[in-house]
Amino acid sequence: MTTLVIAEHDNASIKGATLNTVTAAMACGGDVHVLVAGHNAGAAAAAAAQIAGVAKVLHADSEALAHGLAENVATQVLAIAANYSHILFPATASGKNVAPRVAAKLDVAQISDITQVISADTFERPIYAGNAIATVQSTDATLVITVRTTGFDAAALGGSAAVETLDAVADSGKSRYLGSEIAKSDRPELTAAKIIVSGGRALGSSEKFNEVMTPLADKLGAALGASRAAVDAGYAPNDWQVGQTGKIVAPQLYVACGISGAIQHLAGMKDSKVIVAINKDPEAPIFGVADYGLEADLFAAVPELVGKL
Amino acid sequence: MKVLVPVKRVVDYNVKVRVKSDQTGVDIANVKMSMNPFDEIAVEEAVRLKEKGLATEVIAVSCGVTPCQETLRTAMAIGADRAILVETPEELQPLAVAKLIKAVMDKEQAQLVILGKQAIDDDCNQTGQMLAALADLPQATFASKVEIVDGKAQVTREVDGGLETIAISLPAIVTTDLRLNEPRYVTLPNIMKAKKKQLDTFKPEELGVDVAPRIKTLKVTEPPKRSAGIKVPDVATLVDKLKNEAKVLG
């Protein structure tokens, strides 16, 4: 029994989500191998080799793999899939893009977003926006799984696995990468941040969102998040959205400002260690999950908080 | 270009589901059911392609129990031309649904399939990608913009950290993200018109698909409850609590 983890990386380094996925892989039992499929990704492969508990790193390098196109990455995984009992992806945008493609080609089900490994074939996963937890058992020969990174600790570093080079697959010719607009920011990534400050519709405009929330994020060294209402209203970019259909986060500290706390938002942040809610509506559902609730106008309270930190 | 739009009947997004006491699932008796919100966005996108003259016909398809007909009528009220129900009382998992839609796609010779990225009941986020794999077609998931130019689709995708644009050849599979469009309000005249549109029904066996579930649900439980904490009177107390009680600030 050997588990393959598909690394999330940017060719130069390994993303944090890979470390959580390795921890889930170790819980499945057996050896853990990591696949780094990329272009000029030697540094990422070397970084993967340092994850404690990893027995082997497989490195496939080709221009066809540069941008993680689903068709090509899935084919690369399928080329070695027969060697593995479990194939694990982090439940990130790229993991979710590729994993079902691999599962369908193997004619097996996929188990999405696991939060706990009960045994080698049995897992827990949230359904209905986290309002229920299903314990599910696979009956398939190969298990294709995506891992909710907040459910597992990051694997430690300090390993020294061997790196083996694989033949890279050819380009499918079906899809082509044209470009991307990735916001450059010095802030921590939302899903890896220790502290997140998040704003809701009460901010009222993107100018106010920026004016009120940014100083707090700067002061705390925090990532910025937003509710779907704030994103829909155009106050914050879509990739800041925390919730059922956005990012699932579990930081040490989550500060929700002007967020009422719809179930879809709570689904994305209720596993945070400490939750602070600042809201002027005493009936806001967010107070039902907050460790510390402050009933106040955020336009006064947040700047005061920045001043006192 | 024929466009196929799979739609799923799910518990309405405003309903907070309750776990059954025997832990066999969630209680959906007498609960309001609606079209999965992402699928509504998919129908809207397909109808807009038709309105732009890029699509010739929009066909909605749903897999599941008889009342899925209502979901299909809603799709036709938004503007789908006709509908297909693959009717079965069996529990359908994403792999089975992908196989059923693949069979319908082949039958209809559809050039484009637009699906919601995720259903808000099982939260799987699998069916579109699985369909693309089974049909050996390119996929563009989590789309926030779709343009059809010269027999190709140029799709902007929501990815971690921002946006990515890819070009895919047609036929292809696209899955929708929230910002792709805002579905139109369904009007009464269109609801009436939808009642007269064609709705065909097939059984999975007629499509030659084995829908047996691959994953067994052993139990469904309540998530651990997070208890409410305390209300603090002012910002100073909040800072003090965070520093000295929760110890999350240095």
| Residue-by-residue pLDDT tens, chain A, 309 positions | 999 999 999 999 999 999 999 999 999 999 999 999 999 999 999 999 999 999 999 999 999 999 999 999 999 999 999 999 999 999 999 999 999 999 999 999 999 999 999 999 999 999 998 899 999 999 999 999 999 999 999 999 999 999 999 999 999 999 999 999 987 778 888 888 999 999 999 999 999 999 999 999 999 999 999 999 999 999 999 889 999 888 999 999 999 999 999 989 999 999 899 999 999 999 999 999 999 999 999 999 999 999 999
d(CA A269, CA A116): 17
Instruction: Tell me what pLDDT residue A188 has.
Output: 87
Residue B247 touches partner A, C-beta closer than 8 Å: no
C-alpha span between A113 and A93 (Å, rounded): 12
| Predicted local distance difference test score (pLDDT) of residue A301 | 96
CA distance B79 to chain A (A): 24
Residue of B161, B167, B213 with shortest CB distance to A175: B167
**Neighbour-count burial of A183, counting CB atoms closer than 10 A to its CB (0-12 exposed, 13-18 middle, 19+ buried):** exposed
Listed residue (A243, A273, A272, A245) closest to A260, CA to CA: A243
Of B26, B130, B246, the CB nearest to A104: B130
Say whether B215 and A137 touch across the interface (CB within 8 A). Answer: yes
Nearest CA in chain A to B167: A176
Six-digit token pair at A27?
């819980």
SS (H, E, C) chain B: CEEEEECCEEECCCCCCCECCCCCCECCCCCCEEECHHHHHHHHHHHHHHHCCCCCEEEEEEEECCCHHHHHHHHHHHCCCEEEEEECCCCCCHHHHHHHHHHHHHHHCCCEEEEECCCCCCCCCCHHHHHHHHHCCCEEEEEEEEEEECCEEEEEEEECCEEEEEEEECCEEEEECHHHCCCCCCCHHHHHHHHHCCEEEECHHHHCCCCCCCEEEEEEECCCCCCCCEEECCHHHHHHHHHHHCCCCC
Cβ contact A292–B232 (<8 Å):
yes
CA dihedral A241, A101, B101, B126 (to 10 degrees): -30
Sorted by sequence, the CB contacts under 8 Å of residue B51 that are 6+ apart come out as: B79
Interface test with B, best of A18, A175, A184 (most B CBs within 10 A): A175
- CB distance A70–B230 less than 8 Å? no
Residues of chain B contacting A110 with CB distance shorter than 8 Å: 94-95, 124, 126, 130
**Facing residues of B156 across strands?**
B145, B165
Angle, in degrees to the nearest 10, between helices A206-220 and A298-308:
20
* CA B201 and chain centroid, separation: 20
* Residues in A touching B133 (Cβ below 8 Å): 74, 100-105
Please tell me which residue of chain B has the smallest CA distance to A139: B214
Taking CA atoms, what residue in A is nearest to B175?
A: A97
pLDDT tens digits, one per residue of B126-185: 999 999 999 999 999 999 999 998 889 999 999 988 899 999 999 999 999 988 999 999
**Whose structure tokens read 């398939």?**
A140
Binary contact (A293, B231; C-beta < 8 A)? yes
Chains A, B: CB pairs < 8 Å: 252
Residues of B whose CB is below 8 A from A175: 138-140, 166-169
Residues of A in contact with B226 (CB under 8 A): 270, 275, 289
How far does B174 lie from chain A, in Å, by closest CA? 11
Q: Is A221 left (phi over 0), alpha (psi -120 to 50) or beta?
A: left
What is the C-alpha separation between B104 and B110, in angstroms, rounded?
9
Half-sphere CA count of A139, side-chain side, radius 13 A: 7
- Residue of chain B minimizing CA distance to A301: B235
In whole angstroms, give the CA distance from residue B54 to residue A58. 44
Are B248 and A273 within 8 A, CB to CB? yes
Residue B149 contacts A, CB cutoff 8 Å:
no
Taking CA–CA distances from B37, the nearest residue in chain A reads A245
Partner-chain contact A111 B215, CB within 8 Å: yes
Q: Report pLDDT for B144.
A: 95
Specify the pLDDT at position B250: 67
The separation between CA B173 and the C-alpha centre of its own chain, rounded to angstroms, equals 13
Q: Which residues in chain B (161-200) have CB-CB distances under 8 A to chain A?
A: 161-169, 177-179
Over the stretch A146-198, which tens digit does the pLDDT of each residue have? 999 999 999 999 999 999 999 999 999 999 999 999 877 788 888 889 999 99
Beta strands B139-149 and B152-159, pairing class:
antiparallel
Looking from the CA of A113 toward its CB, the CA atoms found within 13 Å total 22
In terms of Cβ atoms closer than 10 Å to its own Cβ (0-12, 13-18, 19+), residue A140 is middle
- Which residues of chain A does B169 touch, with a Cβ-Cβ cutoff of 8 Å? 173-175
Q: Confirm or reject contact between B62 and chain A (CB < 8 A).
A: no
State the number of CA atoms in the 13 A half-sphere of B151 facing the CB: 1
**Residues of chain B found within 8 Å of residue A191, distances taken between Cβ atoms:** 160
Residue A234 DSSP SS3: coil
| Closest Cβ–Cβ partner in A93, A98, A137 for B216 | A137
Interchain proximity B167–A70, CB inside 8 Å: no
- Nearest C-alpha of chain A: how many angstroms from B66? 22
Q: What does the DSSP assignment read for A91-150? A: SSHHHHHHHHHHHHHTT--EEEEE-EEEETTEEEEEEGGGTEEEEEEE-SSSEEEEE-GG
Question: Which among A129, A247, A294 is the nearest to B238, CB-wise?
Answer: A294
Name the residue among A119, A148, A152, A149 with its Cα closest to residue A136. A119
**DSSP SS3 for A47:** helix
Residues of A in contact with B134 (CB under 8 A): 104
Residue A184: predicted pLDDT: 77
Q: How far apart are CA A175 and CA B153, in angstroms?
A: 10
Q: How far is A145 from chain B (nearest CA, A)?
A: 11
Low-confidence ranges of chain B (pLDDT < 50): none
